[in-house]
Amino acid sequence: MAQPQATRVSRAAIDKASPELSGRISRLRSFVFSVGDSLFLITVGILAVTAMRLIEALSWHPVLTWFIGMGLAMLVQTLLAFAVAPILGSIESMVPSMPVAMICPMALELLEMTGLDLEWSGSVAFGAAFGVGMSLFVVAYGFACTKSLRRASCLR
């Protein structure tokens, strides 16, 4: 008895049969990935600031606190990036999250050295805002690159 054959439909066949549907699916996929990237960067910002605050609570020497706090924030970021790499992609998750994990805790410490001491809720909001800022930067950079490549006739 013959087994039924599964029909495989290629991406090109979908584009040819229904270009409108293909375009909508592509835009939806881009939107979902952008939301995922944004949530990931917000999470990294919050956890980086939390790591720094936890190390700061030990009341060690400030320089030791900065080194250990930033190291812990980078470790958390690296583990998170490896965790989401199968979903969001390794480069797409690792590269933008590195500056968030490095700069965000240090910017918080700089604010504290200038006399602006944020409480826990303010620190968490600062980390989330830093993640949103990096997410907006990545989106703007992507649009600029796409526009540049279209102008150079590299993209349709």
Tell whether 140 is covered by a domain.
Answer: yes
Q: For 154, list phi and psi in degrees, rounded to 5.
A: -85, -25
Tell whether 7 is covered by a domain.
Answer: no
pTM for this prediction: 0.79
Residue 42 · residue 128 · CB < 8 Å: yes
Match 């150079």 to its residue by tokens. Answer: 152
Model confidence pLDDT, tens digit, residues 23-66: 777 788 888 888 888 999 999 999 999 999 999 999 999 899 99
Tell whether 5 is covered by a domain.
Answer: no
* Number of domains the chain contains: 1
pLDDT band, very low/low/confident/very high, at 111 (cuts 50, 70, 90): very high
Domain that holds residue 71: 22-151
Which residues have CB under 8 Å from 109's CB, separation 6+? 52, 56, 65, 66, 69
Q: What does the block give as tokens for 132? A: 């949103």
Tell whether 156 is covered by a domain.
Answer: no
Tell whether 27 is covered by a domain.
Answer: yes
* CA nearest neighbour of 44 among 118, 105, 109, 117: 105
